[in-house]
Chains A and B, each alone.
Chain A
């Protein structure tokens, strides 16, 4: 009997079919990898298993019994535990205190339950942690404060949390993204110990080497569907990569041939840290030429965000140089980099790209408000700004009641069109475009891709960061694959080997 059996799971979101009649089975004592690119549906599937979403169709069996999960609390009670990519730990508390938080208070329905709040749980919890540590070889000091621990140790705390709550199915979402190679080894040992005790582990990943190393079985998802479910020992990298990215004929957009001219962006030996203090960019060197689109392929979380931020002045560098049109902008502010002719289409549209409560026209001049003709000296020229906005709204087909409408009322697609309009209408020399069509419907996606190609015609150098491999392949002239902060390979789009790209995206150097 399987520990977990998910049958016919279907889940629809407004623009996308995230899971399409997915069947998924995990046996006790098995490490089962769930492999796929971003958007393949792995996280959605596991969120359903953890009770965060309800499936539109299909059902779930735990140890042969059908269950309904209304929330994570139900899932936890039934023995499903999840270690998220972003830890949910209270940093200023100790390990024991964080775990003590999981003690179920509400399974006591009696009014005296509040007296339980006055108990000192720490000794019991510390002992229990000690027992779990010994049993599963998970060493952690219960009295240490979370902020004092390394990310690997923090992850161990999260794992102990699930075991503490009685999990016999552990779901780990991209667990190695924050670990050093040494810590990855330790994690794998831990997982083996856990499954030796009879637990089941689901390991969500996009990294082939690891999947091949640690898992017993692997299920590959693509576009919400199960491509295959195989025993790991019976497959190899190439087959998995092919299953992950597919082989179908890709929709290639009409592109004129361009001859490369001058380099607009030159990056040498770039190194930068992530928010957590880890090295996110490792010695990157590349150039982007005018009139070309350089596509950075790769799964999110491998340094792409940091790369975009460093080039646009929103993050500091540790080492290296960045030149735009021959000018050193390594330590420059966002404003200086903008003035060098750089446009930035940010990854987080709403958090960073717009001021939601301001009007459409104000957002259209958000970045160049202090340039002529929008400002004359100290003052903004409202008439010119309005004219400009009307013009852009027409040109770019931005659907809005008026220029004065608060921009937060626009649909996602129109917000992105606004951002594109703002960033490209002045024919910048360099465009950094981060996930420009993420979450948009087909129509908006098409428009935006066309806009990028137009800018390419006009001679702009474009750095395109995207998780959508189709997009990269159809828009780019050259492609670089990014994995773990490094560049894994550079190639021309025309002659790109999709399987090779898939392998590189998954961490395999070819």
Chain B
């Protein structure tokens, strides 16, 4: 029996879909094996995840809640990744967005909603984009890797947050908990009915995802982004300026992550505190990757991962720690990245 590997000429949509499904399937299998080692019935675990995330109205609303920041971040990441700028810094950009919009909320608690909410939104986008701009500028000026610089800035952001909520911004009535005072009503985002869905952010996420998709496929700028990512030499020959593309994509992806942060503090947490994000910025990377950098697909895929996060809460009742979600995420990403190999190569077995 001989196994040979050949390069594919073209990757059909079907192949891509199949390899993605295969990747998720493999991840589920490996996770199942680990669960069994934990003396947990994997089928039961998966059933509970599905039920809790999608089986009830309440559960589904929570899924949407968790999907919102994923969607907003991943849409921006898809853009940056298209230009092959590996923005790993969405988590930090999100935090900066949260911090800056919290500042507005805490400084002007008595202002009316129609002034507060838009300025919180605007500032969060601004500061998120600044946080994204730094790695972008460093890349253009020094050639340093966006992945590393943005990663380092995640931790700087986390430490700034820590400093603020343990220190100068700690709410006077919070009795030692590292958090700010609760935002005034006018600084809180409205929610849908009895759920926790802060629908303005949701709408923003959906609209922006569609918008980015249209930009990437139909605009001049999108064309430049795609060409730069696919073949930077040809892009230069075609007169495209790398500087412009790098700066704009990092600004946009950073700004979007910032808005996600705003959504979390103004829509869910209603204050600034430690742990506002259970790694949304990192999970968004997986969402973007699995959506094959297609902003439209980001919408359903973020629902999937939102559901996973909700499911993570549910399986704790079975004795599995929440870390099982990290396990899933890691396995899925690992198999999806490995599965890329199948998209570009055919494996032939000869007897």
Contacts and interface: CB of A to CB of B under 8 A. Distances in A.
Direct contact of A and B (CB under 8 A): yes
Interface residues of B, number: 20
B10 A353 contact: no
B227 A367 contact: no
A380 B220 contact: yes
B9 A355 contact: no
B9 to A, nearest CB: 6
Interface stretch (A68-76, A144-152, A331-339): A331-339
Given A356-B231, A357-B230, A382-B218, A369 B223 contact: yes
Given A351-B233, A352-B233, A358 B239 contact: no
A346 interface: yes
A362 B223 contact: yes
A314 B10 CA distance: 31
Contact of A366 (B220, B221, B234, B241): B234
Interface in B213-229: 218-221, 223, 226-227
Interface string A53-81: 00000000000000000000000000000
B239 A333 contact: yes
Given A351-B233, A355-B230, A356-B230, A367 B9 contact: no
B237 A344 contact: yes
A341 interface: no
Nearest to A354: B234
A334 B239 contact: yes
B238 A334 contact: yes
Contact of A355 (B10, B219, B234): B234
Given A355-B231, A358-B226, A367 B218 contact: no
B235 A355 contact: yes
A355 B227 contact: yes
B236 interface: yes
Contacts of B220: 369-370, 375, 378-380
Contact of B9 (A351, A379, A409): A409
A406 interface: yes
A366 B231 CA distance: 12
A333 B219 CA distance: 22
B239 A367 contact: yes
Interface string A369-396: 1100001001110100000000000000
Contacts of A346: 237
A380 B233 contact: no
Nearest to B235: A355
B219 A353 contact: no
B140 to A, nearest CB: 15
Contacts of A352: 233-234, 237
Nearest to B231: A355
A375 B218 CA distance: 10
A335 B231 contact: no
B242 to A, nearest CB: 12
A333 B243 CA distance: 13
Contacts of A333: 239, 241
Number of chain A interface residues as a range: 20 to 34
Contact of B237 (A334, A357, A370): A334
B176 to A, nearest CB: 52
Interface string B10-29: 10000000000000000000
Given A370-B220, A380-B220, A335 B227 contact: no
Contacts of A408: 9-10
Contacts of A334: 236-239
A380 B216 CA distance: 11
Contacts of A314: 236-237
B10 A358 contact: no
Interface string B225-260: 011001101111111110000000000000000000
Given A379-B218, A382-B218, A353 B237 contact: yes
B227 to A, nearest CB: 5
A378 B234 contact: no
Q: Which of B218, B223, B235 is packed against the most chain A CB atoms within 10 Å? A: B223
A133 to B, nearest CB: 37
B245 to A, nearest CB: 13
A417 B234 CA distance: 17
Interface string A388-428: 00000000000000000010110000000000000000000
B150 to A, nearest CB: 25
Contacts of B238: 334, 366-367, 369
Contacts of B227: 355, 358, 366
Interface string B34-46: 0000000000000
Nearest to A309: B237
Interface in A146-162: none
Q: Which of A338, A351, A370 is packed against the most chain B CB atoms within 10 Å? A: A370
A348 B233 CA distance: 10
Given A355-B231, A358-B230, A378 B221 contact: yes
Contacts of B233: 348, 351-352
A369 to B, nearest CB: 6
A431 to B, nearest CB: 15
Contacts of B218: 379-380, 382
A331 to B, nearest CB: 15
Interface in B49-82: none
Contacts of B241: 333, 335
Given A351-B233, A370-B220, A379-B220, A338 B239 contact: yes
A380 B219 CA distance: 5
Contacts of B219: 378-380
Interface string B122-141: 00000000000000000000
A406 B13 CA distance: 13
Contacts of A344: 237
A355 B237 CA distance: 11
Contacts of A357: 230-231
A490 B241 CA distance: 37
Nearest to A357: B230
Nearest to A378: B219
A314 B240 CA distance: 12
A403 B24 CA distance: 34
A265 to B, nearest CB: 18
Contact of B234 (A312, A335, A353, A382): A353
Interface in A439-463: none
Contacts of B235: 355
B223 A380 contact: yes
Contacts of B226: 355, 358
A222 B241 CA distance: 44
Nearest to B228: A355
Contacts of B230: 355-358
Contacts of B223: 362, 369, 380
A212 B97 CA distance: 73
A353 to B, nearest CB: 7
A92 B317 CA distance: 57
24 contacts: A314-B236, A352-B234, A352-B237, A355-B226, A357-B230, A357-B231, A358-B226, A362-B223, A366-B227, A366-B234, A367-B237, A369-B220, A370-B220, A375-B220, A378-B219, A379-B218, A379-B219, A380-B218, A380-B219, A380-B220, A380-B223, A382-B218, A408-B10, A409-B10
* 3 residue pairs, one from A and one from B, having the closest CB atoms: A335-B239, A334-B239, A355-B231
Given A334-B237, A378-B219, A409-B9, 4 more contacts: A314-B237, A333-B241, A334-B238, A352-B233
